[in-house]
Amino acid sequence: MESLARFVLRHRLLVVLGWLVTMVAGGAVAGTVTDRLSFDFSLPGQPGYEAEEQLIATFGTSTADTLVPVLTVPEGSTVAERQADVAGVFEAVRTAVPSVRVVDLGSTGDSRFVTDDGRSTFALVQGPMPAGFGPGTEAQVQPAFEQAAAAAGLDTGLTSYVLLSAGGDTEGPSVLVETLFGAVGALAVLLFVFASFLALVPLLIAAVSILTTFLLVLGLTYLTDVSFVVQFLIALVGLGVAIDYSLLLVSRWREERAHGRGNDEAVVVAVRTAGHAVLASGVTVAISLLALVIVPVPFLRSMGLGGMLIPLVSVAVVLTLLPALLSKVGPRVDWPRIRHDAVAARGWTAWARLIVRRRWLAAGAAVLVLAVVIAPVFGMKIGQANSASLASSGPPFDALQQLERGGVGTGVLTPIEVLVPDDQAEAALRAAGDVPGVRMAVAGGSSNGTTVVDVVPESETVDGQSIEVVNDVRAAVESATDGSVGVAGTGAIVQDYFSAVYDTFPYVLALIAVITFVLLVRTFRSLLLPIKAVLLNLVSLAAVFGAVTWFWQEGHGSGAVFGIEGTGAITFWLPVIIFAFLFGLSMDYEVFILARMREEYDATGSTRAAVVTGLGRTGRLVTSAALILFFSFAALASSPGTDIKVIGTALGVGILIDATLVRALLVPALVSLLGTWNWWLPAGLARVLRVQPSPLVEDRQERTAEDRPLTRV
C-alpha cells in the first residue's frame, strides 16, 4: 500500500488525467449502457421454464402476463341471454390481435367463465413474450376489446397481475434524479464531518467511480447479458460506497496532518492504514457479489458480475485518484477548518469507555433488541407479492373486484398451462379439473399435435404455500397420462426459482463466508475476530430480513410510507440480492472499526485502549458513512416498482441496524469481553497466509484500572 501511494504521488498528473479521460468516456456512454441492459428472466434447464419455451414455440404465446378482460351485461339481462354478443366481442379481439390466444365461454362452453350473478363473464388472453417493460399485449387488446363491447352495449373491465402491479406506480424519478437526491444527502453529512470545502472531494470521487463503472459495464454487455437493475445499483450503491471509502481515507489524512506530518507523508500513512481497510472492504463486497455466478439464473449472475464492478472501481479510484488530489490540492480545499482531527471524538470515546465498563449489559441489550427484530423472519414467505398488495384503486383493481364479488377467485391472474399430446387431452382435462383448489380446467387450443389445457386455480399461485396446487395438478395429470406433461405458468416459474436459487444458495453462503474469513484473517492478523465478523454479519442480515418481513410482507408501515399494502411474500430473487450486497457492505464497517482497533492494540498491548481509541476514532466515521449510504438507498426506494423499493428499504434499514446495534454496541462489547483472545493468530496459520503471527500475551487492560485515563488518544 505504501509503494502504491508513493507511485501515485510521483505520477499524480498522469493519474488525474487518466481518470478524467475515463470519467468523460463513461459519461458519454452512460445512455448507451441503459439501452443495452437486459430484461432476461430465463431459467434454463428448469421444468417450468422449459414448458414455457414449449408453449411459446407451439402457440406463440407466453404466460408472462395473462390478461383477464371482463364483460358485464346491462342490469336486467344475463350473460346467457346475451351469449351471442359476448362471443362476438371476444371473436373481435381474436380478429384484431391474431397474435393472442383467447380462451372464453364461447370457445369452451364452460359456464364457470360466468360469475355467480350471471351478469359478468371473463376470458383468458395470452400474447407473445414481452421484450421489456413498455406497453405489452394490452396496448393492442384493450382498444379492440372496448370498441367491440361498446358496439354491443356491454360494460368492460381489464385486469392482470402486471396491470395491478403497475397501478399508480409506473412513473418515478429517473436514475439521475435519484442519484442527485442521494448526493445532496451525502453532501449534508460530509459537511458535518469535515466542516470545510473538503466535503466536495468525496462527491468528485463518487462521480468518477460511477461513470467509470458504466463504461466497464458497457464492455461487459458485449460479453454477456446484464440486468436492467444494475443501472440503479451502479448509480446509488456506487455513490454510497465511493463516498464511504473516501470518507475513511480523507479522515485519516486529516488526522495525520493534525499530528504534525507533512502533506505527502500524511497521504502515504493514510493509504497504508485506512487504504488497507478500504481494499479489504472493497474486495469483500466484490466477492459477495461475484459469488452469485454460482446461482444458475442468468439475470442474477449478471447482477453479480455488474455489481462486482461497483466496489472494485470505487477502491481503484479511492486508492489512486484521491491520494493524488489530496497531495496537490488537499490543504487548500480543507478550509475553513472548523473541525479538527488531532484527538478522537469526545462523545464516541465516552461511549466506548461506557461499553467497556458495562460490556455484559451492552452485549445483552444488543442481543435482546436484535432478537426482537429477527423474530418475524421465521414467518417470511418467498414468492411474489399477492394481488391485494399491488393496487387499491384504478380500472384493473375494479375489474378484479367485479370478478371476486361474482365468486371468481384471484387464480384467474395466474392460470396453470398444461401441455399434453392431443390424444391425452381429455384425460388431462378430467384429472386437472378434479384437483382440490382448481376452479376449472378447459382446452385452450391445439397445435402441432399438442394441446394446451388452461387450469384456473381458485387462488393466485405466487408463494411457497399457494403453489402447492401446481404440484397437485402436475401429479394428477402425469398419473392420468403417459407422463409427457409440461406445466407452465406463474406458479411453475416460482417453483423453478425455488429450485434454481435456493438449492444452490447454501453453496453461495459457504463460498462467501470462507473467502471472507481468509481475507479478514490476513487483515486483522487474528483467528477469532474474522469468525466473529462473519457470524455478526449473518445476525445483522437476519435482522434485516426480519424487518423486511414485518414491514413489507406483513404490511406494518408499507401502506403508510409507500401506499402499498402488505405483499404477503417477498419476491423470490430479492433475498439473494439483498444478502449479496449487505454482507459485503456491512463488513465494511467491521473492517473500518476492527482494523483501527488492531492498530491501537499493536501500539498499546491493551484491549481496553484498542476499543476506546478505535471506536473513538471510527465511530463518527462509521455512523456518517452509514447515513450517506442510507440517503443513497432512500433514493433507490423512490424508484418505480415495488421490488426496487424493497431493495432500497432493506439495504437502508440494514445499514442503520449494522452501524448502530451491531458495530457501535455489540462489536465493542464482544471485543472487550474476549480480551487478549481477539488478537491471537497461531504461527502455523500465519505462515500459510504469509502474515506476521500474533501470539497470546497478557493483556495490559488486566493490569489497568477501569477508570484510569488513557494517555494515547
Domain boundaries, the chain: 67-159, 345-402+502-700
Highest mean pLDDT out of 39-48, 435-444, 555-564, 636-645: 435-444
Residue 342 has pLDDT above 80, yes or no: no
- The predicted structure's pLDDT at residue 702: 44
Highest mean pLDDT out of 293-307, 330-344, 410-424: 410-424
Say if CB 154 and CB 85 are below 8 A apart. yes
CATH pick for 67-159 out of 3.30.70.260, 3.40.50.960, 3.40.50.1820, 3.10.310.30:
3.30.70.260
Distances (CA, A) of 516 to 176, 530, 533, 584, 587: 33, 8, 9, 9, 9
Topology (CATH) of 345-402+502-700: Multidrug efflux transporter AcrB transmembrane fold (1.20.1640)
Integer Cα distance of 376 and 677 in angstroms: 34
Per-residue pLDDT band for 350 (boundaries 50, 70, 90) equals very high
For the chain, give the mean pLDDT: 88
Q: How many CB atoms lie within 10 A of CB 202?
A: 28
Integer Cα distance of 70 and 86 in angstroms: 10
Mean pLDDT of 68-86: 94
**pLDDT tens profile 603-648:** 999 999 999 999 999 888 888 888 888 887 887 787 766 788 888 8
Asked, as a colleague might, if the bond just before 336 is cis with ω within 30 of 0, I would say yes
Percent over 70 (pLDDT), the chain: 95
Identity (one letter) of the amino acid at 701? Q
Question: CA neighbours within 13 Å on the CB side: how many for 255?
Answer: 22
Largest CA distance in the chain: 96
- The predicted structure's pLDDT at residue 707: 42
Mean pLDDT of 29-42: 85
Percent over 90 (pLDDT), the chain: 57
- The predicted structure's pLDDT at residue 637: 80
Residues in the chain: 713
Residue 182 has pLDDT above 80, yes or no: no
Residue of 619, 650, 628, 451 whose CA lies nearest to 544: 650
Residue 169 has pLDDT above 80, yes or no: no
**pLDDT tens profile 665-704:** 999 999 999 999 999 999 998 898 888 899 888 887 544 3
Evaluate whether 67-159 and 345-402+502-700 have a shared fold: no
**pLDDT tens profile 446-480:** 999 999 999 999 999 988 778 899 999 999 999 99
Distances (CA, A) of 539 to 237, 352, 374, 629: 22, 22, 8, 20
**For residue 649, what is its C-alpha cell?**
428499504
Please say whether the dihedral angle defined by the alpha carbons of residues 602, 604, 609 and 615, taken in this order, is positive or negative: negative
Residue 168 has pLDDT above 60, yes or no: no
Mean pLDDT of 262-287: 92
Question: CA neighbours within 13 Å on the CB side: how many for 17?
Answer: 4
